Amino acid sequence: EVQLLESGGGLVQPGGSLRLSCAASGFTFSGYAMTWVRQAPGKGLEWVSTISGGGTTFYADSVKGRFTISRDNSKNTLYLQMNSLRAEDTAVYYCAKSDDPRDYMDVWGKGTTVTVSS
Amino acid sequence: DIVMTQSPDSLAVSLGERATINCKSSQSVLYSSNNKNYLAWYQQKPGQPLKLLIYWASTRESGVPDRFSGSGSGTDFTLTISSLQAEDVAVYYCQQYYNNPCSFGQGTKLEIK
């Protein structure tokens, strides 16, 4: 069964850092693009970042220069390093897989919650 | 960036009746070289992962009940649930993946009347 399991969320102060992880199973992780999408409380879905199977990265303007997406294909794990966090980064963060960076996302995780507050 | 706008924001439909959700993109998501609409529909239920329902605007994902269907082309799209079941209560999102960044509609909350 294809599964994605996010972890690493929590409460962090403004300006702080956090690293999210997404453990993948049930498919050949290295062959797929992986994406982070977030959902602020009571709001809709916002694309954050995508990494291709080959490591090419894409970022939303709102996180560019602060967030870094990466992957460890040997560990079947996706990461999101979040620095200089702001209150507006508070959200549930989901990871999702797709065949290509420019493609629909066919499997999603349940998400991990990030709260940025003093 | 492409802006996706869904209507209505919320919808109440009786069990067994048809539910229709609309999605409009600010520019065409039809790629002329392959004649495909880069449009997907997702279902979100509390505590569950988002579920892909429809891709390429009208292709049903494996395992999705056939009461779910997608239609439309260019800038105007529709998700139809032909006969609403209790388990269909959820929030539904459209998404364009024609451009980077991809973008989502604001969501439509579907409830039972």
Q: Under an 8 A CB cutoff, do A107 and B52 touch?
A: yes
Q: Under an 8 A CB cutoff, do A107 and B105 touch?
A: no
pLDDT confidence of residue A88: 97
pLDDT confidence of residue A48: 98
* pLDDT tens-digit series, residues A98-107: 999 999 999 9
Mutation pick from A25, A36, A38, A45 vs chain B, by most beta carbons of B within 10 Å, is A45
Closest CB to B101 among A47, A105, A108:
A47
Phi, psi of B86 (to 5 degrees): -60, -35
| Maximum distance among all Cα pairs of chain A, rounded to whole angstroms | 40
Note whether A44 contacts B: Cβ–Cβ < 8 A.
yes
pLDDT confidence of residue A107: 97
Show the tokens assigned to B78: 């529709």
Mean pLDDT of B15-28: 98
* pLDDT tens-digit series, residues B62-101: 999 999 999 999 999 999 999 999 999 999 999 999 988 8
Confidence of residue B6 (pLDDT cuts 50, 70, 90): very high
Q: Under an 8 A CB cutoff, do A46 and B50 touch?
A: no
pLDDT confidence of residue B5: 98
Along the 118 residues of chain A, how does pLDDT read in single tens digits? Answer: 999 999 999 999 999 999 999 999 999 999 999 999 999 999 999 999 999 999 999 999 999 999 999 999 999 999 999 999 999 999 999 999 999 999 999 999 999 999 999 9
Contacts of A60 in chain B (CB under 8 A): 101
pLDDT confidence of residue B100: 84
In whole angstroms, what is the distance from residue B67 CA to residue B53 CA? 11
Note whether A42 contacts B: Cβ–Cβ < 8 A.
no
Residues 6+ apart with CB under 8 A from B3: B25, B26, B103
Closest CB to A104 among B49, B52, B100:
B52
Contacts of B38 in chain A (CB under 8 A): 102
In whole angstroms, what is the distance from residue B41 CA to residue B59 CA? 10
Distance of CA B61 to CAs A62, B53, B54, B55, B92, Å?
Answer: 31, 5, 6, 7, 15
Residues 6+ apart with CB under 8 A from B45: B51, B89, B90, B91
pLDDT confidence of residue B47: 86
Note whether A58 contacts B: Cβ–Cβ < 8 A.
yes
Q: How many CB pairs under 8 A join A and B?
A: 55
**How many C-beta neighbours within 10 Å does residue A67 have?**
22
* pLDDT tens-digit series, residues B28-68: 999 999 999 999 999 999 889 999 999 999 999 999 999 99
Q: Under an 8 A CB cutoff, do A4 and B49 touch?
A: yes
Question: By the 8 A CB rule, do A15 and A37 touch?
Answer: no
